[in-house]
Structure 1
Amino acid sequence: MTVAALTVPEPLGSLVARISACRTCAEHLPLGPRPVVVPCPGARILIVGQAPGTKVHESGIPWNDRSGDRLRDWMGLDRETFYLSERIAIMPMGFCYPGVLPNGGDAPPRPECAPQWHAELLGHMPEIELTILAGMYAQKEYLGKARKKTLTETVRSWREYLPRNLPLPHPSWRSGNLLKKNPWIEGEILPYLRAEVARLIG
């Protein structure tokens, strides 16, 4: 047995404290660091999104905005169950608000964040059965070369990534047109998602 195999993982509380104190990309964050992540040791569902918006940054509560309302609707959950269930973990690609682009769109998640923290956090959540990949940044990271050329193609191929991963559009208002043009998302994927969520959180 190797020395690495004998290493005991850091307690989750200590890891969360290190994340809370992280200043790796502070100089690039217009509102300063405020990591928002919710790891749960008994989680069976992991939600990997993009990065907090201004409302989430202000409150410190993940998905506490209109995107969160849509995500909860997709999952078939009310706010109380979503936030209190110990079966749901939330780990965005970037833990802090990254700002906006010159054209007014959302800036991408800081690239330093996921490589620095995701693997450590996943080591504390061994029971995850379903990872919801909300948006192209999460899909690029977790699907790698298996990802298709476009987000729509990736989501259309959702069955290929089961049972571990489920790619979805990001549930922001910008996805409205995509949903209208692709009714199979609501007709095929969301019923599956709701059934799986109900099964996994008991």
Structure 2
Amino acid sequence: MQTIEEISREARACRICEPGLPHGVRPVFQVSAQARILIAGQAPGRRVHASGIPFDDPSGDRLRQWLGVDKATFYDPDCFAIVPMGFCYPGTGKSGDLAPRKECAPAWRAKMLAALPALELNLLIGQYAQAWHLGKSDQNLTERVKNWRSYYDVEPGQIRNLPLPHPSPRNNLWLKRNPWFEELLIPELQRMVALLLNKKRAP
């Protein structure tokens, strides 16, 4: 099996979506074979495309608050693998950023995740990541997030999945309408993140 370093080099050189990317190719992800936590988002936005840094925007600020970590920890690939459903910025449509390119996940996702053997927690941000990792469902995103314990409470040795809404400021109204999310789910998220990060630091 290829190492994560080999897969990363190939993915950064990928051009399969180039004809459909109006702003050009710039794969943005962060990986290490030591990472215990996966952040599975949608695709880079305009600011992330410009900087090449995952979640380098207000969404990232809120996500780090949810996780209870600082930037240094967040951008340590041995702590967090950040692997969006689409590696490149897909451009903008009438109602915001376009969906991740459909070519990306079939080409890269399974083999990249297979090269991340230490993962214990998958944070699934938005409907595209949830559909890929959990399978298609009649539940909408709110129902899936409300039902988070059915994906999170697993047998020892299995990877926990935690569906999350997108931390974008566009979801401020959703957060206001669903106060249970920050009251009940976020404390458990921060507890588990701290536990996994402490496990990584243990001698």
What TM-score comes out, normalization by structure 1 length?
0.92
Structure 1 residue 200 and structure 2 residue 192: aligned?
Answer: no
Partner-residue secondary structure (3-state), 2:135: helix
Once the two structures are TM-superposed, the CA of residue 61 in structure 1 deviates from its matched residue by 0.5
Alignment partner of 2:113 out of 97, 116, 122: 122
Matched-pair contact (CA < 8 Å) for 2:31–2:81: yes
Q: Is the 8 A contact 1:85 1:201 kept in 2?
A: no
Structure 1 residue corresponding to 2:22, chosen from 16, 21, 30? 30
Distance 1:85 1:126 in 2: 14
Match of 1:150 in 2: 140
Q: One-letter code of the match for 1:162?
A: Y
What is the CA deviation profile of residues 141-167 of structure 1, one whole-angstrom value per residue up to 9, with x for unaligned ones? 11114x442110010000010141000
- For each residue in 1:120-155, what CA deviation from the matched residue of structure 2 results, as whole angstroms up to 9, or x when unmatched? 11111111110000111111111114x442110010
Farther off after superposition, 41-50 or 81-90:
81-90
Contact 2:37 2:119 in 1 (8 A): yes
Q: CA deviation at 1:85?
A: 5.2
Q: Contact 1:39/1:89 (CA < 8 Å) preserved in 2?
A: yes
Amino acid at match of 2:127: M
Task: Give matches, 1:126-141, under 5 Å.
Answer: 126-141=117-132
Task: Tell me which residue corresponds to 1:191.
Answer: 187
Alignment RMSD: 1.1
Please tell me whether the aligned partners of residues 148 and 154 of structure 1 are also in contact (alpha carbons under 8 angstroms).
Answer: no
- Runs of 4+, deviation exceeding 3 Å: none
2:102 corresponds to which of 108, 111, 121 = 111
Retained in 1: the 8 A contact 2:32–2:77? Answer: no
Instruction: Write out per-residue CA displacement over residues 15-62 of structure 1, whole angstroms, 9 at most, x where no aligned residue.
Output: 111111100010111110100111110111000000001111111100
Residue 86 of structure 1 is matched in structure 2 by 78
